[in-house]
Chain A
Amino acid sequence: MTEPGAAQRSLRSATPAFVSNGPSALGSLRDRANTLLPGLYAWVTTVLLPSLSHGAPGSARVTAALALFALLSAPLLVSTRPSLGRMLGIFAFIGCSLLTWLLLGAKVVQSPGDPLVSALGAVAFTLYALGWGSQRRRGVVPEDAPNVIAGPPLQPRTRSHPIAPFVFGLVIVSSLVPIFLAFRVAEAERSLFAHAVAVLAAILTITVGARVATSLGQRRALPASAERLNAAAVPLALSALLFGLGFLWLVVR
């Protein structure tokens, strides 16, 4: 095992990538394109357009403009003042967008003919949120960091099954179907409930699907097949019973 002190003995000078030279504004915006582009799309489709509708209060347009200001200023500050940049990009942008929707009230509900726009706006917000995850700067090599502990690459304890990524991808796609179907619900209150149910269902499906995908082929980690089937017998039996009752109800009706 490599001693922690080895890092000091083999200390390399910090590479330019770890020394901030104050990137230009355009460079900062380019580096944060993964958050800026989906954020702009989400802002235009879900904040700007509703705030420009006829009868929208002026206060909603002010908060919409503040949301845009936070969205554009965050990438410029995230390199030199990371905490302020993240606060602007995450809390200020989302907070001003939320305030805009609250001020718009009923006008924020898209017309029934625009569910696709709403769905794509939600996807854009998701991409925007994912873009604020930990990201290394352009040209940075993690192994060149001065505090890295040199040593051989760590090997995984097990290898995933070759079809595991395909299975997980299929689970993710199937879990998105209820979310898109929820946008087809016209009534406001029912739509809100449908969205909550769809998001919960997606979270549960992806969680279980991830465990299924990673456990494929893991013989030593799981009990014998007969024992696994016995454990699942009760929920499977209840599901079969519900199916039977539903079929019976269809026949009798």
Chain B
Amino acid sequence: MSKVVDALSILLVLGASLAFAVGVAALGERRDLAAIYWLAIGGLVLRAAVELLRPRSSTR
């Protein structure tokens, strides 16, 4: 299960990078709404990747 979560975190980071790339490409094509949409998705996905690493409810 831990390996699955590790793989998920890697996929989330790469997915966030892809979303940012699509958002920047949309900026160049003057599709501002689509750019904001993809940048927001990239931010949320990156946030999810961070939460997988250091969740606030972790116990020591």
Contacts and interface: CB of A to CB of B under 8 A. Distances in A.
A188 interface: no
A238 B5 contact: no
Interface stretch (A40-48, A88-96, A218-226): A218-226
Contact of B52 (A167, A229, A239, A246): A229
Contacts of A232: 48-49, 51-52, 55
Interface residues of A, number: 46
B5 to A, nearest CB: 5
Interface in B23-55: 23-25, 27-28, 30, 37, 39-53, 55
Interface residues of B, number: 41
A199 B5 CA distance: 28
A225 B47 contact: no
Contacts of B59: 223, 227
B55 A225 contact: no
A211 B17 contact: no
A212 B53 contact: yes
A251 B20 CA distance: 23
Contacts of B25: 181, 184
Contacts of A181: 21, 24-25, 28
Most chain B CB neighbours (cut-off 10 Å) among A197, A229, A235 = A235
B42 to A, nearest CB: 7
Interface string A228-253: 11111011101100110010000000
Contacts of A7: none
A185 B51 contact: no
A186 B58 contact: no
A205 B41 contact: no
B50 A198 contact: no
Contacts of B44: 235, 238-239, 242
A178 B20 contact: yes
B14 A194 contact: no
Interface of A: 167, 170-171, 174-175, 177-178, 181-182, 184-186, 190, 193-194, 197-198, 201, 204-205, 208-209, 211-212, 215-217, 219, 222-223, 225-232, 234-236, 238-239, 242-243, 246
Given A198-B24, A215-B53, A222-B53, 20 more contacts: A171-B14, A174-B14, A174-B18, A174-B21, A178-B21, A178-B23, A181-B21, A181-B25, A184-B25, A201-B17, A201-B24, A205-B46, A215-B6, A223-B59, A225-B4, A226-B1, A227-B59, A231-B55, A238-B44, A246-B37
Closest 10 CB pairs of A and B: A231-B55, A201-B20, A174-B17, A235-B48, A232-B51, A185-B28, A223-B58, A225-B1, A235-B47, A239-B44
